[in-house]
């Protein structure tokens, strides 16, 4: 069941009515209701994978309690390794088994052998990368004694499987979400207003901007051999708009739904296309993942301890593995490595200049934003291309020729993207991501109404799957 399917609004209306009907004082009854709803939501894709979700939930619930109960560091570590091994084992099997097998076969073939191996054609359970990292962070935090293990299985199951963020994040931390699940919640007028705004804006970004941009970009990547002139740039630009509006749209809807129910999710995007450099970009893009990677991979690797070269290594390895998290294909690994290299280069320059954090004025800030765009676009091109030859072909085919398709495509992107640009500039200069809520109430109502009308007229009808579902 996707947020942009017909059935979802009906599903949410039923769930929300039941949730409110149970009464805000009856937290456990509400949690039970939300858990059932979440499993129904997930089971709509493939009920068989509910078993995996339950397995992940149960393993980490039990192991975290045993970790907490033990004072012996070796036992605690062993239990943690069981949790990490099981979770990553499941993720590795479903997501990476075929990839590594195929890669190995290709390598062996290059060495002159003809191995008789067939891949298993394993179906990737939707959202597995998200909920695996979410549940892992809980065990890791308990192991680090940053939070107590919970003895409430139902609350923990809801933490792992809460439907708004189950399949595409934000990757929540137990420290933040579990207390919200276990304690009575309040739904304030402010939360409702913010929630409604986030939902409407998220749907607008997804169905109007992202899906229309995809209609521009996808044919270029599908027929990449024939792309010429500015068409490769158009394709990459279209994808850049598509992936951001698609993913941040999903995150906005998830956060909005959560607010309507009295929950507060992590912020996942902070205007990433206004980043002044690679490090700034990763402080703004998919924040719940980048902070996860920082806390549970980069820091354990040594972080910035042990001298600059270890720091560079840790940065690079973290980003390369972050790339692999996104998908079991070499373009993702290359994309992660590319961003790792950018981060290392940026850090190197900073170190050479004595580690100073530059303060730059408005002109300096915008110069950096503009200068970072080409580097970011290259990254987007890498992650969108299905193969290295495709990327190289598009790269070499581009020129400044404004073909008719490019003219039309840029026009379409401009037509659908200007509301995003206006909104992001307002958010940036006001330093307020919910700047729309500052509008007088009548203007706010009109704006929401206009967005609804725009979705009716320009929204792409066929439910186009959210891009990040494949991760």
Q: Which secondary-structure segment (H or E) carries 225?
A: none
Per CB under 8 A, which region of 12-20, 282-290, 399-407, 443-451 contacts other proteins?
Answer: 443-451
What single DSSP character describes residue 304? T
CA–CA separation, 287 and 168 (whole Å): 13
Per CB under 8 A, the segment of 72-80, 81-89, 139-147, 437-445 that binds other proteins is 437-445
How many positions of this chain bind other proteins (CB under 8 A)? 27
Active-site residue, selected from the candidate residues 242, 326, 339, 428: 326
- Rounded Cα–Cα distance for residues 402 and 17 (Å): 53
Q: Which stretch binds other proteins (CB under 8 A): 13-21, 115-123, 237-245, 457-465?
A: 457-465
For residue 282, the SS3 value is: helix
Nearest Cα neighbor of 64 from 147, 6, 121, 142 is: 142
438 contributes a contact to other proteins by CB under 8 A: yes
Q: Report the nearest approach of other proteins to the CB of residue 212 (Å).
A: 10
Q: Is 353 in the site for other proteins (CB under 8 A)?
A: no
Are the C-beta atoms of residues 467 and 246 closer than 8 Å to each other? yes
Our CB check for other proteins shows the closer of 40 and 452 to be: 452
Contacting residue, 310, 434, 463, 469, with other proteins by CB under 8 A: 434
Nearest approach in angstroms of CB 189 to other proteins is 5
- Measured from the Cβ of residue 433, the count of other Cβ atoms closer than 10 Å reads 19
**H-type helices in 123-230, by residue range?**
128-143, 153-161, 163-166, 174-182, 189-203, 211-222
Q: Pull the structure tokens for residue 163.
A: 């439907």
Helix (H, G, I), strand (E, B) or coil at 223: coil
Residue 26 beta carbon to other proteins: minimum distance, rounded to whole angstroms = 22
Matching residue, tokens 């907490």: 68
Q: Could you give the string, one character per residue 190-229, with x where binding to other proteins holds by CB under 8 A and - elsewhere?
A: x-xxx-x---x-----------------------------
Contact between 457 and other proteins (CB under 8 A)? yes
Q: Could you give the CA distance from residue 412 to residue 210 in angstroms, rounded to a whole number? A: 12
Q: Distance between CA 233 and CA 354 in Å, rounded? A: 37
Contact 228, 397 (CB under 8 A): yes
326 part of the active site: yes
Q: Is 442 in the site for other proteins (CB under 8 A)?
A: yes
Min dist. Cβ of residue 318 to other proteins (A): 36
Which x/- pattern, by CB under 8 A, does the window 164-193 give for other proteins? ------------------------xxx-xx
Q: Does 450 bind other proteins (CB under 8 A)?
A: yes
Closer residue to other proteins (CB): 383 or 420: 420
Contact (CB, 8 A) for 319 and 337: yes
Prior bond of 170 cis (ω within 30°): yes
State the residues that interact with other proteins by CB under 8 A. Answer: 188-190, 192-194, 196, 200, 415, 434, 437-438, 441-442, 444-446, 448-450, 452-453, 456-459, 461
């Amino acid at each position: 069941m996707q947020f942009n399917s017909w059935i979802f609004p009906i599903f949410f209306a039923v769930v929300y009515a039941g949730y409110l009907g149970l009464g805000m004082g009856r937290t456990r009854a509400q949690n039970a209701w939300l858990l059932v709803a979440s499993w129904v939501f997930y089971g709509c894709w493939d009920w068989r994978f509910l078993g995996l979700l339950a397995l992940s939930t149960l393993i980490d619930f039990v192991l975290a309690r045993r970790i907490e109960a033990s004072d012996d560091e070796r036992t605690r570590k062993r239990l943690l390794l069981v949790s990490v091994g099981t979770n990553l084992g499941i993720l590795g099997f479903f997501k990476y088994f075929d990839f590594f097998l195929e890669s190995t076969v290709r390598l062996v073939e290059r060495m002159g052998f003809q191995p008789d191996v067939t891949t298993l054609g394993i179906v990737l359970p939707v959202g597995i990368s998200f909920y695996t990292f979410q549940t892992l962070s809980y065990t890791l935090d308990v192991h680090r004694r940053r939070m107590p293990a919970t003895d409430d299985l139902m609350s923990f199951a809801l933490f792992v499987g809460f439907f708004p963020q189950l399949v595409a994040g934000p990757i929540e931390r137990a420290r933040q979400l579990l207390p919200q699940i276990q304690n009575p919640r309040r739904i304030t007028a402010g939360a409702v207003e913010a929630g409604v705004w986030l939902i409407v804006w998220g749907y607008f970004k997804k169905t109007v901007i992202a899906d229309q941009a995809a209609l521009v970009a996808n044919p270029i990547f599908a027929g990449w051999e024939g792309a010429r002139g500015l068409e490769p740039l158009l394709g990459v630009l279209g994808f850049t708009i598509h992936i951001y509006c698609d993913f941040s749209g999903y995150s906005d809807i998830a956060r909005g739904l959560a607010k309507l129910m009295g929950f507060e999710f992590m912020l996942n995007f902070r205007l990433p296309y206004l980043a002044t450099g690679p490090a700034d970009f990763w402080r703004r893009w998919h924040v719940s993942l980048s902070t996860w990677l920082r806390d549970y991979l980069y820091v354990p690797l040594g972080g910035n301890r042990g001298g600059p070269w270890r720091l560079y290594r840790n940065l690079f390895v973290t980003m390369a593995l972050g790339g692999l998290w996104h998908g079991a294909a070499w373009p993702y690994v290359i994309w992660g490595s590319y961003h790792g290299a950018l981060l290392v280069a940026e850090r190197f320059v900073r170190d050479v200049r004595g580690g100073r954090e530059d303060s730059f004025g408005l002109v300096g800030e915008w110069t950096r934003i503009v200068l970072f765009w080409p580097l970011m676009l290259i990254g987007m091109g890498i992650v969108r291309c299905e193969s290295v030859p495709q990327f190289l072909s598009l790269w070499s085919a581009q020129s400044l020729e404004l073909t008719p398709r490019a003219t039309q495509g840029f026009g379409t992107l401009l037509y659908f993207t200007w509301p995003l640009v206006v909104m992001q500039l307002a958010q940036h200069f006001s330093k307020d991501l919910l700047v729309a809520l500052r509008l007088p109430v009548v203007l706010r109502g009109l704006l929401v109404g206009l967005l609804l009308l725009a979705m009716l007229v320009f929204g792409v009808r066929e439910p186009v799957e959210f891009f990040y579902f494949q991760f």
